[in-house]
Amino acid sequence: MTPRIETLKEKKLVGKRLTMSLANNRTGELWQNFMPKRREISNSITNDLISMQVYKPTHFADFKPTNEFEKWASVEVTNFESVPSEMETFLLAGGLYAVFDYKGSSNDPSIFQYIFGTWLPSSDYVLDNRPHFEVLGDKYKNNDPNSEEEIWIPIKTK
């Protein structure tokens, strides 16, 4: 699977966040809390959902399943003028990303094993210290083998 390389423009996001680790995965709790309230966001740009991970700079260099990170359930908005109560804003900086069009279950970690274990080491890029995210569009179906999503990995040239 070969990604396309894209330069992302800055995005304004509104959503909810939780601190978690792979060993203490709270993704279900995060999305169950966000989804009933997402209709309160009046200025979203598309129907796409954005699942974002904000890692510490040492997260991957010293990787352990217990390393904590911040996970967001969010949508892209035109501005931050109308933010529903109990939600927060995040300004996602632009930059270079490897974008993988993934088809399969969101519970199958093999795509990330391929990205970090095979594709990245043999590419002309290294990880950049910016958020990672997935765009969950109309073809996304949670835990379904026919689900489709875009996986955006922040990169910079070696």
- Domains detected in the chain: 4-157 (3.20.80.10)
Percent of the chain at pLDDT above 90? 92
Q: What is the spatial distance between Cα 43 and Cα 63, in angstroms, rounded to a whole number? A: 37
The percent helix, strand, coil of the chain (3-state, each to 5) is 15, 40, 45
pTM (two decimals): 0.95
* pLDDT at res. 69: 97
* pLDDT at res. 67: 95
Name the β-bridge partners of 18.
71
Mean pLDDT calculated for residue range 135-151: 94
* pLDDT at res. 62: 87
- Average pLDDT value over all residues in the chain: 95
Residue 79 has pLDDT above 90, yes or no: yes
Confidence of residue 74 (pLDDT cuts 50, 70, 90): very high
What's the pLDDT tens digit per position in 25-36?
Answer: 999 999 999 999
Q: How many CB atoms lie within 10 A of CB 154?
A: 19
Residue 143 has pLDDT above 90, yes or no: no
Name the DSSP letter for residue 10: P
Q: Where do the H-state alpha helices sit in the chain?
A: 27-34, 110-114, 120-122
* pLDDT at res. 1: 86
Residue 109 has pLDDT above 90, yes or no: no
Residue 63 has pLDDT above 90, yes or no: no
Q: What is the spatial distance between Cα 22 and Cα 33, in angstroms, rounded to a whole number? A: 19
What lies within 8 Å, CB to CB, of 32 at 6+ separation is none
Q: Is 132 in contact with 120 (CB distance < 8 Å)?
A: no
